[in-house]
């Protein structure tokens, strides 16, 4: 079972202007700090998407997916997200824990300038999507997206 993690307020992605969101949603994105030539594992793991369960009940994320605009897709395997919990999905290689999951990739996934992170359930329905881009985002100085651009998808279940 995946437990809760404390995210810095700037990375928590408070979704400014959104009145409703789904039970499970993208609560933060960090895609900065990656040069085009540095593909070290520690650098890749600085790139992550935070997924939060806003309900009080455990949600089974088995076979849910997280993908970017180019179709790079991570599939959740054997993950149960506790109520009011958040898990970060990192790009690089690592050992999964209650608070951090790893895509085990050797190259970057999330584009710094413009991209979309899409969360789909096990039936392929869009649960949340966050887009950011040159004209479409608000960031703190560390490249963490607050309310990371525009949200799409059916946030009501």
pLDDT tens digits, 31-51: 875 556 677 999 899 999 999
Maximum Cα interatomic distance, the chain, rounded to a whole number of Å: 42
pLDDT band at 26 (very low <50, low <70, confident <90, very high): very high
Region of 29 please: left (phi>0), alpha (psi -120 to 50) or beta. Answer: beta
Q: What is the mean pLDDT of the chain?
A: 79
For range 63-70, the mean pLDDT: 97
Rg (CA), the chain: 14
Q: What percent of the chain has pLDDT over 70?
A: 68
Interior/surface letters 118-157, b for 16+ CB within 10 angstroms, e for the rest: bbbbeeeeebbbbbbeeeebebeeebbbbbbbebebebee
Complete domains list, the chain, with CATH? 9-147 (2.60.40.1260)
C-alpha to C-alpha distances, 59 to 19, 20, 22, 55, nearest whole angstrom: 22, 18, 12, 9
Q: Is the pLDDT of residue 140 over 80?
A: no
Predicted local confidence at residue 142, as pLDDT = 37
Predicted local confidence at residue 67, as pLDDT = 98
pTM for this model (two decimals): 0.75
Of 20-24, 78-82, 140-144, the one with minimum mean pLDDT is: 140-144
Predicted local confidence at residue 147, as pLDDT = 43
């Amino acid at each position: 079972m995946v437990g809760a993690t404390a995210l810095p307020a700037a990375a928590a992605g408070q979704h400014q202007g959104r009145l409703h969101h789904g039970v499970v949603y993208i609560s933060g994105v960090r895609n900065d700090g990656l040069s085009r030539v540095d593909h070290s594992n520690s650098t890749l793991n600085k790139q992550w998407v935070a997924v939060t369960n806003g309900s009080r009940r455990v949600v089974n994320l088995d076979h849910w997916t997280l993908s970017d605009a180019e179709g790079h897709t991570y599939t959740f395997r054997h993950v149960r997200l506790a109520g009011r919990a958040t898990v970060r999905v990192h790009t690089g290689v690592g050992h999964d824990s209650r608070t951090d999951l790893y895509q085990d990739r050797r190259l970057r996934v999330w584009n710094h300038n413009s991209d979309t992170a899409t969360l789909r359930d096990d039936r392929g329905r869009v649960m949340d999507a966050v887009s950011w881009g040159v004209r479409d985002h608000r960031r703190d100085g560390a490249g963490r997206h607050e309310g990371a651009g525009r949200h799409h998808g059916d946030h009501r279940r």
